[in-house]
Amino acid sequence: MTPSGGEAEVKCIDEPGNIAAVSPHLDDAVAGCGALLAAYPGSTVITVFAGVPEASVPVTEWDRRCGFPDGLAAMRHRLTEDDKALHLLKARPVRLPFLDDQYVRATNRANPKVEKIAAALAGVLDKAQARTVLFPIGLFHGDHLLTSDAALSLFRDTPERNWIAYEDALYRTKPGLLHARLVQFYTRGISLTPVVFGAQPNVHRKASAVAAYASQLPELGVKKGEGDAAAPERFWLLRESVKQEPA
């Protein structure tokens, strides 16, 4: 369904060209579109909040629950997990130096501006010669919303690319969040069309890649091949439309 309630046709992209998937954190693109990435070896995964904090930063509650003494140890371990996951998908990692929101809060810093993230993304996308850009719709988590808004700020500048939003795994199951975000796109003058790809998604390789993030899976409640991370991936193709004022 479209946000306005009408039926939408499904578009198929047979030749996506070079694919770049934008990921808020080290596991998000794999969880949200890993089966698709596995079907297109050589894709680039750009992780926005991949900065490594200093060991002196106070340990966060999340890192403590995952068994780490500090953020430095946590991020080093997660980078190793990400290397393994992306190797399984035959994807190329690119990591931006922005700090995860949990480390920003632990050091009483301000979150990066959307414009700064967008500028960093633009350079990487150009270098990757991305023809198709996958990015999170932007649900629940502040880092996801910043990443999504940064991609949206670039959307109108490069209409020759396929700009495709993927649904944030796990967060998309929270009641009302997905529909509310789709409406936000609509009111910004962006139409969304469901889209599929010509290549067959590789769900088995994705399951192995998701399992590589072993340090966080128990706390996330994720088991290999089960739950929302194993559910069908859904994608939305962006197009400009007439901007709508909220009712």
Backbone angles phi, psi at 93, to 5 degrees: -85, 140
Q: Residue 6 pLDDT more than 60?
A: no
Average pLDDT over residues 173-191: 90
Q: Distances in Å between the alpha carbon of 72 and those of 18, 56, 68, 112, 215?
A: 33, 9, 9, 20, 14
Residue 8's pLDDT band, with cuts at 50, 70 and 90, is low
3-state secondary structure of 50: coil
Q: What is the pLDDT of residue 2?
A: 43
Residue 67 domain boundaries: 11-240
Residue 6 lies in a domain: no
DSSP strand E in the chain: where?
11-13, 19-23, 44-47, 92-95, 132-136, 162-166, 190-197, 235-240
Closest CA to 120 of 91, 145, 153, 144: 153
Q: Tell me the CA end-to-end span of the chain in Å, nearest whole number.
A: 19
Residue 46 lies in a domain: yes
Residue 198 lies in a domain: yes
Residue 112 lies in a domain: yes
Residue 164 lies in a domain: yes
Residue 229 lies in a domain: yes
Contact in structure between 91 and 45 (CB atoms under 8 Å): yes
Q: Residue 245 pLDDT more than 60?
A: no
Closest CA to 16 of 135, 184, 152, 131: 131
Domain count, the chain: 1
Residue 107 lies in a domain: yes
Closest CA to 99 of 57, 149, 155: 57
Any idea what the CATH number is for the domain that residue 68 is in?
3.40.50.10320
Residue 2 lies in a domain: no
Look up the pTM and report it: 0.89
